[in-house]
Amino acid sequence: MTTVSPTTNNERQTTNKLVASEYFVLFLCLVVFAAFAPFTPDFASSGNLWNIFTACLPLLLLATGQTLVLITGGIDLSVTASIGLSSVVGALVMGGDAGWLRGSPAAMPVAIAAMLATGALVGLFNGACIAWLRMPAFMVTLTTTMFFNGFAVWLAKRNVDAESIYNLPPAFLALGTQAWLAAFLAVVAALGAHLLLARTLLGRWLYAVGHNPRTSLISGVPVGGVTVSAYMLNGAFAAMTAILLTARLETGSPNHGKALLLDVIGAAVIGGTSLFGGKGKVMWTVFGVLFLSLLGNGLNLLNLSDFMITIIKGAVILIAALLDVWRNKFVRGS
Amino acid sequence: MNTPTNNDEQRTTHNETVVSFSGIEKSFFGVKVLKGVSFDVGAGSIVGLVGENGAGKSTLMNLLGGILQPDAGELRVNGQTYAPRNPNAARAAGIAFVHQELNLFPNLSIAENLHLTDFPRVGEKIVRGSSFVVRGDNEPASAPQRTTNNKQQTGGGLPWIDRRTLRSRTTELLRQVGLDHAPDTLVECLPAGERQLVEIAKALGADARVIILDEPTTSLSARECERLFTLMHQLRKRAIAIIYISHALGDVLRICDDLVVLRDGERVGGGETKEFTHDRLVSLMVGRQLNQLYPERSCWGAQAPSPVAVGALADHPDGARTAMIQNHVAKDSSAQTRTARARFAAAGAAALPILSVRSLTQPGIAHDISFDLAAGEVLGISGLMGAGRSELARILFGLDPCTSGEIQLAGQLLDGNPRQRIQRGLAFLTEDRRQEGLCMEASIADNIALVTLTQHSRTPARWLDFAGIKSAVSQMREAVRLSPKATDSQPVRTLSGGNQQKVVLGKWLLAEPKVLILDEPTRGIDVGAKFEIYQLIHQLADRGAGVLVISSEIEELIGICDRLLVMRHGELTGEFRREEFDREKILGSALHASKPLAADVRRL
């Protein structure tokens, strides 16, 4: 469950070592940075870098949560639905013209608690279907995406007769305007996930279940419970993302974060987390997120059209994935 | 072949050489696993390739099968230099590799499996023969003609599968291996033995001249083995060479024409089978005299639990293995055995049952099973394949349900899921090491620590004590005498079978179980590692644990158990104490027939 350190001979060249290293994606980030910096003067400015950092926080949270699920050998496609539902629930609790606790000082803490609980409940539902009813994760989370997304729209329309809910309390909106606060929360959450994976019993169990659920079951690992907790944690991470997005966009809406799904899985996989389970680290995912964000931002600053950015981003992700396959082969094969 | 090579003298006298290895070397990660291996395989001969796990047998065969490429040395097939870049090239050269884990698709039919790479197509011109590397003038006129030639050169045709030809070809191939299934039968419907035969049919379909069989009998019943051996002899008559890898030395000595013994990547012996005895083969394989296959226990039978720490197992210094074996050999005097057995008789009555099973029943699987296991006792369960032994173990461990009956551990009812039973002191080494015993990609340390992780975690948040885990793992590595070459962070996938099994055993021993259930603990493991595993079993019993051993090898159970139970069709049909052990009688209660079949006697 610890990663295999690359077994490089002394005579092997440093480039080979670099390719096999777990910091390879960080190196790729530097390459992207060095490639863009000469062409876009703004790119390397501290303002822009802070911009990139704050903009990637939702992706960072989601990809970190997804990493936990991927390590167990599962996948969670329903994170966008979790975000939408959490956002609507939170907004319905604290704000708008029809908020259940509007104006009350307890509104914000209760709303945040409700959002986290919503995400965790969606995760519980997914996890229960997967672990106890033994349904395939892909199927379950694909269909619960539809279900919870529709449910979020229905909930919003029923209460405020619109999809978006405005007039959120200013204390909550501060989370969006004060970027350092959001950054602090996101970094603490990612650090927590890292410690969970690297230092705790549950972390070891997540890896074990991803490696081989049968062996884990026979060795006394509560496989069902471990799987469910991975999805619940991921749901909670989606809810945290919902908090950030809701505050930043000053609305509760079922449509927040909808474009993020592919980036989320892309970032985790580029980082080196395996889709087959048993392999992955929060740090790797952070590198993956950084890579995608640098690339997107750089292309933006080049004033390329949207479709051009999409084309290039897709191609670069594909190449990165290819490099990943290649270096895995390299590390293992020779 | 007509060009003289320096290997000419080494050739087996009775046959034409099909494959010759000369000076083959191969290294992994800078470690040499093959150090200049040379030998020849004659057409129409069965060559047994034996050696301990890690001796380099599989690597050698992977070179022949095109999966790996040699660093040095030369492979020749029919006298021509042969350097396959991939398995397809090997197949084209007439070499078929039947892997231990069969390469069949269970969800496809037999016909589809046999023709996966060359489906006959509608309107295809069929060009018979001439598909194989240099034949003709090399083949002596007296060489027996092969009865069929199934490989066909394809010539044009529509991209539709010709179902009729597919079926008739499949039927013909199945006939050659003695199967009469419909070609459309799904492979998942076949028992293990028949799948093996389908693999061989696939090899025949590809016009193989050389068939490599890697541990073909591990999952076969006695009758299926006989069938396989008969087929191998038929193939030999058709000038097909067979390279047979197996740990079942009795089989090897019985069916092979020639033997090649590998040890640590070197060919340490070889020649005609009649020059070898079982003992000579074993001593060649392990590189020392190994007079005894089973360790003698200081005191046979159940005894009062004596609190000896696991660490005591680790007291033997490095390299003490040989000394210990010799020590045990020395102790094997009949007088000592007699006293030990007498002590067993006395202790047997007084010993407390640590596990007692009463009227355990699950329809179709187990019927009214009752027995006691005493503390310090090694209890064997014998029986034929499918008698319900593994199923019984799974019920005991809580993996499978039972409709009625009761299990008690140390006088208290045992129920719940495996996790709860582990906490009560139960441990279970399953028969499927890869799928149920290990996380193959995970490290040695992570595998050994898996069961006992909970003990090393502290609240809040179940923080892990990594220093404690590390020391427990290294202590256990010494106790089970895991290969010192392996590092803690190495994935278990890279270990040999024997060392993998030691990891599984170590994982359970760390939990200090009260009852350890072992299902086929030495399957696919070399002689030296077997001996060490038997010792570990005895040491655990000496510490006061109860050990339940399930095995298909009667010899093994007779060698290590205090008492034996026999199962047949889900029922217990016999019980034997050590002084009553008798192969024929044990077999008699295992078999349905009143008289044991000759084939089954040999097998068990």
Can you list the positions of beta strands (E) in B89-229? 95-98, 125-128, 152-155, 210-214
Does the structure show a pLDDT above 50 at B522?
A: yes
Q: Assess contact for B450 and B492: CB atoms under 8 A.
A: no
SS3 B425: coil
Give the tokens for residue B375: 């503390």
In this structure, of A37-51, A311-325, B174-188, the range with the lowest mean pLDDT score is A311-325
Looking at the structure, do residues B385 and B424 belong to the same domain, yes or no? yes
Q: What is the largest CA-CA distance in chain B?
A: 82
CB contact under 8 A, A2 and B489: yes
How do residues B415-424 score in pLDDT, each as one tens digit? 999 999 999 9
**Cβ-based contacts of B430 with chain A (< 8 Å):** 218
Does the structure show a pLDDT above 60 at B146?
A: no
What integer pLDDT is reported at residue B340 of this predicted model?
45
Banded model confidence at residue B460, pLDDT cuts 50, 70, 90: confident
Looking at the structure, do residues B368 and B261 belong to the same domain, yes or no? no
Looking at the structure, do residues B125 and B256 belong to the same domain, yes or no? yes
Instruction: With respect to residue B6, please indicate whether it lies within any of the assigned structural domains.
Output: no
Looking at the structure, do residues B200 and B333 belong to the same domain, yes or no? no
Looking at the structure, do residues B274 and B366 belong to the same domain, yes or no? no
SS3 B487: coil
Looking at the structure, do residues B276 and B198 belong to the same domain, yes or no? yes
- Across the range B92-99, mean pLDDT stands at 88
Looking at the structure, do residues B270 and B314 belong to the same domain, yes or no? no
Cis peptide before B460 (omega within 30 of 0): yes
Instruction: With respect to residue B540, please indicate whether it lies within any of the assigned structural domains.
Output: yes
What integer pLDDT is reported at residue B592 of this predicted model?
55
Looking at the structure, do residues B315 and B277 belong to the same domain, yes or no? no
- Number of domains within chain B: 2
Q: Tokens 């959450």 sit at which residue?
A: A189
Classify each residue of B449-472 as buried b or exposed e, where b means 16 or more C-beta atoms within 10 Å of its C-beta.
bbbbbbebbeeeebebeeeebeeb
Does the structure show a pLDDT above 70 at A329?
A: no
- Paired strand residues for B567: B383, B572
Q: What's the one-letter identity of residue A126? A: N
Q: Assess contact for B366 and B394: CB atoms under 8 A.
A: no
Of residues A205, A211, A218, nearest to B441 (C-beta): A211
How do residues A112-140 score in pLDDT, each as one tens digit? 999 999 999 999 999 999 999 999 999 99
The nearest CA of chain A is from the CA of B82 a distance in Å of: 22
Could you state, in order of their start, the residue ranges of all structural domains in chain A?
Answer: 19-333
DSSP 8-state code for residue A305: -
> Which distant-in-sequence residues (6+ apart) come within 8 Å of B446 by Cβ?
A1, A2, A204, A207, A208, B439
Classify each residue of B539-548 as buried b or exposed e, where b means 16 or more C-beta atoms within 10 Å of its C-beta.
bbbbbbbbbb
Burial class (CB in 10 A: 0-12, 13-18, 19+), B588: middle
CB contact under 8 A, A215 and B418: no
Give the tokens for residue B294: 């089973």
Whole-complex ipTM: 0.87
* Rounded-to-integer distance, Cα A328 and Cα A89, Å: 43
CB contact under 8 A, A215 and B438: yes
* Rounded-to-integer distance, Cα A183 and Cα A56, Å: 10
- Paired strand residues for B41: B19
Looking at the structure, do residues B223 and B358 belong to the same domain, yes or no? no
**Cβ-based contacts of B418 with chain A (< 8 Å):** 217-218, 220
Percent of chain B with pLDDT over 70: 79
Does the structure show a pLDDT above 70 at B28?
A: yes
Banded model confidence at residue B145, pLDDT cuts 50, 70, 90: very low
Does the structure show a pLDDT above 70 at A331?
A: no
| CATH number for the domain running over A19-333 | 1.10.3470
In this structure, of A184-193, B88-97, B124-133, B552-561, the range with the lowest mean pLDDT score is B124-133
What integer pLDDT is reported at residue B587 of this predicted model?
78
How do residues B324-359 score in pLDDT, each as one tens digit? 433 343 334 343 443 444 444 444 444 578 999 999
* Rounded-to-integer distance, Cα B506 and Cα A87, Å: 50
The domain in which residue B268 lies consists of 15-286
Banded model confidence at residue B155, pLDDT cuts 50, 70, 90: low
Q: Highest mean pLDDT range out of A314-323, B340-349, B530-539?
A: B530-539
Average pLDDT of the residues of chain A: 88
What integer pLDDT is reported at residue A185 of this predicted model?
93
Instruction: With respect to residue B508, please indicate whether it lies within any of the assigned structural domains.
Output: no
Looking at the structure, do residues B236 and B381 belong to the same domain, yes or no? no
Instruction: With respect to residue B457, please indicate whether it lies within any of the assigned structural domains.
Output: no
Instruction: With respect to residue B214, please indicate whether it lies within any of the assigned structural domains.
Output: yes
- Sheet of B426-429: strand order equals B426-429, B515-519, B546-550, B378-383, B563-568, B571-577
- Across the range B153-165, mean pLDDT stands at 74
Looking at the structure, do residues B184 and B317 belong to the same domain, yes or no? no
* Domain boundary, last residue among B286, B321, B344: B286
CB contact under 8 A, B454 and A211: no
CB contact under 8 A, B464 and A201: yes
Banded model confidence at residue B15, pLDDT cuts 50, 70, 90: low
Kindly state the helix (H) or strand (E) to which residue A35 belongs, with its residue range: helix A24-36
What integer pLDDT is reported at residue B204 of this predicted model?
86
CATH label of the domain that carries residue B386: 3.40.50.300
* Domain boundary, last residue among B251, B286, B321: B286
